[in-house]
Structure 1
C-alpha cells in the first residue's frame, strides 16, 4: 500500500503543465463540431458530449495541478521559471478562453466567467513571459513554436469576447497577438533554418504555426464581420502552414509519443473552423470539400493521440521525471 501511495505521489510531483494542451485539443474539437453542426449539418449531440468531456477534463487537470502546487510548490515555481515550460502555463488561460467560446451559445454566464478569468490570466502571463525573456538571457535553442502560446494567444481573446468587452479592448489583444506572431515567427524561422533542429519531442509543436493566422482570421471576422483582403490573407497563411506540415508528414509519423503530441490537435481544429467559416461566407465548393477534409483529419488525429495517451498512462510512462 505504501508503494502505491508513493507511486501516486510521484505521479502528482511530475504532473506536467503541458497536460493543459489536452484541454486545448479537446476544446478545439468541441468548437469544431459545434460549428460543423451549424454549417455542415452534423449532429449537435457530438458537440454537446464533447463540451461535457472538455469541461470535466479541465476541472480534473486543474485539481491535480492545484494539488501539486500545494504539496510541491517549489517544483511548480521552478517550472514557472523554466525557459520552455513557462510558455505552457498560458495553456491554462487559453483553455479558459476556449471554454468561454464553447459555452457562448449555451450559457452566457458560464461563458463570461471563463472569458473574464481567462483574459485576465492571459494578460498577466503575457506580461510575465515577455518580462522573463527581457530579464533573462535566452538561448536560441530554447525557442520553439510553443513560444506562440503566451503572447500570440492574445488573438484568441476577441473570438469569445464579443459582448463581454468593448471593441477597443478586443482590438488591443488582437493587435498584440498579431504583432508578436510576426516577430516570433521570424525568430523561429531563423532558428529552424540556420541553427540546430528542434528536439524530437518538440517536433509536434510545428503544428502550432497553423494556429496564429487561423485564429487571427476567426478573431478578425468576429470583430468586423467581413472577409476582406486582410482576413483572406490570414486564412491563406493558415492554409499554407497546414499544407506545409502535411507535406512534411514524414517528420511526424515515426516520432515517439510525448505529451506534446496534443499540439497536433488545436491548430488542426482551428483550421477546420476557419475553413467552415470561409465556406459559409463564400459558398465555394472547394472550401466545402476542405472543410470536410479538415474535420475528418482532425478527428482521426485526435483519436490517435487519445489512444496513445491512454496507452502510455496505462504503462506508467506519463507523469514521470524527465
Structure 2
C-alpha cells in the first residue's frame, strides 16, 4: 500500500509541473513586484482541475506597463495550494513598423542603403517588398483594369497597406498638373480678349491677364515643387508612374503648362522672351515624343492599339502649343516641324479612339470629362496654323470646325457628364474649353459679325465659369473634405502573379459581371 501511495504522489507531482515555456516565480523573489503602489495590476483567475478533479485557482498579476526583470537564476517550483504569481514579459514596440511599410518606395532606403550597410560590415536584411525594381510591363495589364489602368483587380494584392492612408507625396499624382493647364490657359484666353479685334467692345483691361498669369505661374511653381519632393523622397513611385502605360502621357503636362505660360505672358514679358527659351522648352517634349511615338509604332504591349486613351491627346497638344509659341516668336522651320509631327499622330490617335477604346470597356463615369480632350488638339492646331500662316485660312478653318463640332457634340450630352463624384479628372474640362474659345476669337477676327462675336463671348464665359467652379471645388475637396488625393493603387501593385484560387476566381467573375452591367447601364443613360 505504501508503494502505491508513493507512486500516486510521484505522478501527482509530475502532473503539477508547469510546461517548459512557463516559469514559476515566487512573489518574494522579486522586490516590489506584488506591492507596487504606482501600478494598476489586473488579476486573472484561471481555474485548473487536477487529477483528483479538485479545482484550484492561479492568480496572474498583469501590470499596466511591463517591468524589466532578470530571472536567469530562478528555479521551477511545483504548483501549490497557495496562489502563485507570474510576471508578464515585455511586449515589443511595433510603432516603427507602421512607418517602415513605405520604405521600399523611398529614394534612400532601397539598393543604395543596402550597399552602404554592406560597406560598413552590417549586412542589411532584404525584405520581400524591397525588390520592386524589376516590375515587368505585363504586370500593369495583369494587375490593373479599366481604360485608365488605375483599378486593382479583385485577385490582386498591393505591396502597401490598403486600409491605411498613405503619405501625401505617395498620393500626389502627376495628373495634378492638369490644374496648371486649366489656369494657365485662362491667361492665354484673357490676353486674347484684351488684344483681339473682335472683342474690343468688351474693353477688357490687360491687368486681368497679368493677374491670371501670376496666379498660374505661382500654381505651376507650387505643384512642381511638391512633385519635385516626390521625386526626391519617393523616386520609385515616380518611376512607376513613368513606366505606367497611361500615366506616362501626363509627363507632358508640366512642359505644356510652361509653354502655356509663355504664350499667355503679358506683352511686356512676352517681348523679352528669347528664342532660346523655345528650344529649351521643346527639347524635352521632343525627347518624350520620340519615346512615346516610337512605342506606339514599334508594337509590343505599349502599341497604340493597346494603350490608346483620351489622355494620349496630351502627347499631341504639346506639338501644337509649341508651334503657336514658336510662330509668335518669329521662328519658321521649328513650328512647322512640330505642327507636322503633331498632325500625323493626331490623325492616327483620333481614328483609334473614335472607332473604339482598345480595352473594349466603356469609360467609367468618373473619367467622362476626359472626353473633352478630343477638343483640345484640333482647336490648338487651328490657332497654331493661324500663327504660322499669319491668317485664318482654309487649314485653320478645317481644324476649327472639327473642334467646334466635337465641342457641341459633347456639350449636348448633359447626362453623360453628371452623377459622379469630383476628382482631378474634372480638370480635363478646362483647357480644351479655353482652347476652343481662343480659336473662336481667331475665327471671329477673320469672319467679323454679330454671330461670331456672340459665339466667342459665350465660349469664353463658359470656360471662365468652369475654371472658377473647379478651383473652388478643388480647394474644398483638398483642404476641407481632404479626399482629393486617395491612395494611388496603380503604383503599388506587386511584381508577383497571384494564385487564382477558387475564392478569388469567384470574386473576380462576380466583380467583372457587376462592372460590365454597370457600365452598360451608364452607357445607355448617356445615350
> Which residue, 228, 251, 254 being the options, matches 2:393?
228
Q: CA deviation at 1:270?
A: 0.5
Within 1, Cα distance between the matches of 2:399 and 2:187? 23
**1:3-55 deviations in whole A, cap 9, x for unaligned?**
9xx99981112211011111110011111111111222222221111000000
> Which residue, 188, 191, 204 being the options, matches 1:34?
191
Within 2, Cα distance between the matches of 1:147 and 1:19? 16
Q: Which residue of 2 aligns with 1:276?
A: 441
| Equivalent residues in 2 for 1:79-90, closer than 5 Å | 79-90=241-252
- The structure, 1 or 2, with the larger RCO (C-alpha pairs under 8 Å, 6+ apart) is 1
- Structure 1 stretch 185-194 or stretch 279-288: which is displaced more? 185-194
Question: What's the C-alpha RMSD, in Å, of the aligned pairs?
Answer: 2.4
**1:288-319 deviations in whole A, cap 9, x for unaligned?**
00011001100111122112111110222123
Within 1, Cα distance between the matches of 2:381 and 2:266? 19
**1:150-191 deviations in whole A, cap 9, x for unaligned?**
134311111111365741211110001111111001110122
> Which residue, 34, 44, 51 being the options, matches 2:213?
51
**Unmatched runs of 5 consecutive residues or more in structure 1:** none
| Cα 1:114–1:52 shift into 2, 3 Å | farther
Q: Which residue of 1 aligns with 2:301?
A: 137
**1:114-171 deviations in whole A, cap 9, x for unaligned?**
5333211211111122234436414857422110111343111111113657412111
1:31 and 1:101 in contact (8 A); partners too: yes
Q: CA deviation at 1:72?
A: 0.5
Within 2, Cα distance between the matches of 1:188 and 1:81? 21
Within 2, Cα distance between the matches of 1:121 and 1:165? 21
- Structure 1 stretch 168-177 or stretch 146-155: which is displaced more? 146-155
- Structure 1 stretch 284-293 or stretch 164-173: which is displaced more? 164-173
Within 2, Cα distance between the matches of 1:110 and 1:261? 32
**Structure 2 residue 167 is the aligned partner of structure 1 residue 10:** yes
User: Partner of 1:106: helix, strand, or coil?
Assistant: helix
Q: Which has the higher helix share?
A: 1
User: Partner of 1:227: helix, strand, or coil?
Assistant: coil
- Structure 1 stretch 163-172 or stretch 238-247: which is displaced more? 163-172
| Cα 1:194–1:229 shift into 2, 3 Å | farther
User: Partner of 1:162: helix, strand, or coil?
Assistant: helix
> Which residue, 263, 268, 279 being the options, matches 1:116?
279
**Larger-gyration structure (1/2):** 2
| Cα 1:254–1:10 shift into 2, 3 Å | same
Within 2, Cα distance between the matches of 1:258 and 1:159? 30
| Cα 1:164–1:279 shift into 2, 3 Å | closer
Q: CA deviation at 1:225?
A: 1.0
Within 2, Cα distance between the matches of 1:180 and 1:193? 17
> Which residue, 257, 260, 263 being the options, matches 1:101?
263
**Structure 2 residue 368 is the aligned partner of structure 1 residue 203:** yes
The number of aligned residues is 319
Q: Which residue of 1 aligns with 2:337?
A: 172
Q: Which residue of 1 aligns with 2:6?
A: none
Q: Which residue of 1 aligns with 2:485?
A: 319
Within 2, Cα distance between the matches of 1:177 and 1:196? 27
Name the TM-score, length of structure 1 as normaliser: 0.92
Q: Which residue of 1 aligns with 2:236?
A: 74
1:100 and 1:111 in contact (8 A); partners too: no
**Structure 2 residue 265 is the aligned partner of structure 1 residue 265:** no
> Which residue, 405, 411, 415 being the options, matches 1:246?
411
**Unmatched runs of 5 consecutive residues or more in structure 2:** 1-95, 103-163, 489-527
